[in-house]
Structure 1
Amino acid sequence: MKFTATSKILVAALCISGLSTVSAQAAEFVAKIGHLESAAQSRNIYLEKVAKLVNERTDGNVEFDIYPQGQLGNQRQMTEGTQLGVLEATVSPAAFLGGFNPAVSVLDIPYLMPQDTKQAQAIRDSAFGKELLASFSAKGVVAIGLWPNGFKEFTSNKPIDTWKEFTGQKFRVMDSNILIEQFKAMDASAISLSFGELYSALQMGVVDGQENPLDTIERMKYYEVQKNLVISDHGAMEDVILFNPTFWNSMPENYRKIIVDTFHEVIPDLVKDKAERVAAALETIKKNGMNVRVATPEERETLRAAIYPETKAAYIERAGDEGKKLVDLYEQAYAKVSAQ
């Protein structure tokens, strides 16, 4: 008998749910929530915290069972599983959802989110953030919030002491036309490679460099095959919290509000935890001999001015009128927080 990707996740989810039957009996609403990070990483730690608080605040009537590290499938399987009701929820990096909902690729645009955490949260909470979440409803899921998960930085085996030195270099990217346009605007080239191929591609010189958060660079030991790093904070890493609509709408409105508010409430602590992990990762990277520099605010503004128009145009071309509306709302929100 052949199993499709969706049927495989159905079998896995049903088997795992059976293991928690005893603990689930007391709760009126039980949600299996799958994600890709390990149990020791920030996303999982704060999902567990949200689960505990939601359970307490609903008098034990809502229970979240958290399954980290792809236990319920890869992200595509978990997203489709949430859509179909095999899972009740998933927390996914926005970068993995562009094929499912092209509108969310707006988050791939470089320098979309300010470094200032309060300004960034104001943009998430703005009409832009609300409209972005609403765009998922047409895809058969309910998006209830955005969670920050750090920023991407550049590394290369060639010098990157100035933006001009990016000219002619080859960088690995995820399969995203926006990210390809990002490097074109920097006079560099982009090669789409899977994450699993990246270390060997850097080692063999297939690409000169890559972009990833500092804790990923440290965890994957890219410092072994890369010489230079610039802390640019150019790419915001945002998670999207997705629920199955049937499950979501089956709960009373006050429970839904508790869940949304609790996910939102823990964001400052989540940001702090992520920042501490990034700082520790940077120390490890430095100890292992990488040349590290921090881009100045002026450099970041120069780079944003150079690449924002091209990447915005690439996004709108793909996302159409819906994308244009989102960009307009974003630019209004960005102008407002920048003026404060």
Structure 2
Amino acid sequence: MASRRQFLKLTSGALVIAASASKVSAQPAKFTAKIAHLEAPTQPRHRGLEKVAELVKARTNGEVVFNLFPASQLGNARQMIEGTQFGSIECTVQPAAFLGGFNPVVSVFDIPFLLPADAAKANALRTGPFGQYVLDTFSSRGFVAIALWPNGRKSLTSNKPINSLQAFKGQKFRVMDSRILIEQFGSVGASAIAIPFGELYTALQTGVVDGEENPLDTISTMKFHEVQKHLVVSDHGAMEDFVLFNPTWWKSLPEGHRKIITDTFIEVRPEVEKMKADAKIAALEIIRTAGKTEISDLSEADRNAWQSAMAPKSEAAFIARAGAEGQKAIDLYKAEMKKLGS
């Protein structure tokens, strides 16, 4: 009888402990954040964010939870950026070209051939004084920018040949709404039209524009190759993503949690870069197998010719727009490039 009473006592205690543990694990997060972006759930940016969300939740013992909203679920790029600025969204991850209207300094990344092809050198620029300076310029504009994420390099497609600089003349290309990107195409005799991303397939199909520029995995995911005859794997433009938080939400976090979040985004960056590289290879095979698009690589000689034609006018347009802050960004960039031997 005594043993039965002891058993019931022990069992009751265990149930109380289990119930208490269940209540702890069921406690709502102290800090939740909506993270909004425009890419599909299958693409590297979203998969990287899933990894960040998982690690941050674990490392803060469940106190910080990120809820992800891919594929423009919370609005177009401008709406997501403004939502983050004013607090209806806690975080957004956006490419530089969509941010120039909020912070002109970020448009430095729209200058063609800005980042070297060498991945280690490109990462040194992201993490060095140049990259940190660009991140810091967001603080006076209603954002906390904590990290740069590589989102691939852009290639060019068109329904007309683009195998020489002369071939650009008279063609119309869709660009993100960036003065620097418009100047990039203007410098080679083409015109550039800012068209919302969601309207691009139809614009290509109906001839509103002849071509566009995007990373290869975006081209294949959005099936732009179905309505484009020519593709040049040019890697001419870096698609850099900025991780932006709402300042009020960010300041509400304990300092330790802010460090965990920042460190985790930086830690996951190489994984995102690897996923992007793998996605590029897979995308190229998808486009090649579809058989509708002539594919060519940009030779070293052509790369130099494109850079000489496009970069100076784009850089001048950037400095004209961003002023003294822009000039400082360029000076830091050139100093870093000199150190890197490029």
TM-score interval, normalised by the smaller of the two chains: 0.7 to 0.9
SS at match of 1:201: helix
1:152 aligns with 2:154: yes
Asked which structure has the greater CA Rg, the reply is 2
In structure 2, which of residues 326, 329, 336 is the aligned counterpart of residue 323 of structure 1? 326
Pairwise CA distance, 1:335: 2.5
Work out the CA distance in 1 between the residues paired with 2:209 and 2:79.
29
In structure 2, which of residues 129, 132, 135 is the aligned counterpart of residue 130 of structure 1? 132
Work out the CA distance in 1 between the residues paired with 2:82 and 2:238.
24
Pairwise CA distance, 1:134: 0.8
Work out the CA distance in 1 between the residues paired with 2:34 and 2:207.
42
Work out the CA distance in 1 between the residues paired with 2:40 and 2:203.
24
Matched with 1:302 is: 305
Flag structure 1 segments of 5+ consecutive residues without an equivalent: 1-21
Matched with 1:333 is: 336
Q: Which amino acid aligns with 1:53?
A: L
Q: What are the within-5 Å matches in structure 2 for residues 194-233 of structure 1?
A: 194-233=196-235
- The 8 Å contact of residues 98 and 178 in structure 2, kept in 1 or not, is answered as no
Pairwise CA distance, 1:221: 2.0
Of all paired residues, the percent bearing the same amino acid is 58
- The 8 Å contact of residues 89 and 243 in structure 1, kept in 2 or not, is answered as yes
Pairwise CA distance, 1:323: 1.0
SS at match of 1:266: helix
Between 1:182-191 and 1:138-147, the stretch displaced more is 182-191
CA distance change for structure 1 residues 187 and 338 in 2, over 3 Å: closer, same or farther?
farther
CA distance change for structure 1 residues 203 and 85 in 2, over 3 Å: closer, same or farther?
closer
Pairwise CA distance, 1:23: 8.5
Matched with 2:289 is: 287
Q: Which amino acid aligns with 1:242?
A: L
What value does the CA root-mean-square deviation take over the aligned residues? 1.9
Pairwise CA distance, 1:326: 1.0
Work out the CA distance in 1 between the residues paired with 2:298 and 2:25.
50
- The 8 Å contact of residues 53 and 66 in structure 2, kept in 1 or not, is answered as yes
SS at match of 2:273: helix
- The 8 Å contact of residues 98 and 177 in structure 2, kept in 1 or not, is answered as no
1:278 aligns with 2:241: no
Pairwise CA distance, 1:24: 8.2
Q: What are the within-5 Å matches in structure 2 for residues 86-165 of structure 1?
A: 86-165=88-167
1:174-217, CA deviations, whole angstroms, 9 ceiling, x for partnerless residues? 22221111112222222333333333332333332221111121
Matched with 2:174 is: 172
Flag structure 2 segments of 5+ consecutive residues without an equivalent: 1-23
In structure 1, which of residues 71, 74, 77 is the aligned counterpart of residue 76 of structure 2? 74
Q: TM-score, normalised by structure 1?
A: 0.88
In structure 2, which of residues 234, 243, 246 is the aligned counterpart of residue 244 of structure 1? 246
Q: What are the within-5 Å matches in structure 2 for residues 251-266 of structure 1?
A: 251-266=253-268
Q: Which amino acid aligns with 1:205?
A: G
SS at match of 1:274: helix
Q: Which amino acid aligns with 2:112?
A: P
SS at match of 1:162: coil
Work out the CA distance in 2 between the residues paired with 1:131 and 1:269.
24
SS at match of 2:296: strand
Q: TM-score, normalised by structure 2?
A: 0.87
Work out the CA distance in 2 between the residues paired with 1:204 and 1:75.
24
Between 1:195-204 and 1:328-337, the stretch displaced more is 195-204
1:36-95, CA deviations, whole angstroms, 9 ceiling, x for partnerless residues? 222222111111111111122222222222222222222222222222222221111221
Between 1:135-144 and 1:27-36, the stretch displaced more is 27-36
Between 1:131-140 and 1:74-83, the stretch displaced more is 74-83
1:295-331, CA deviations, whole angstroms, 9 ceiling, x for partnerless residues? 1233222221221110011011111111111111112
1:27 aligns with 2:29: yes
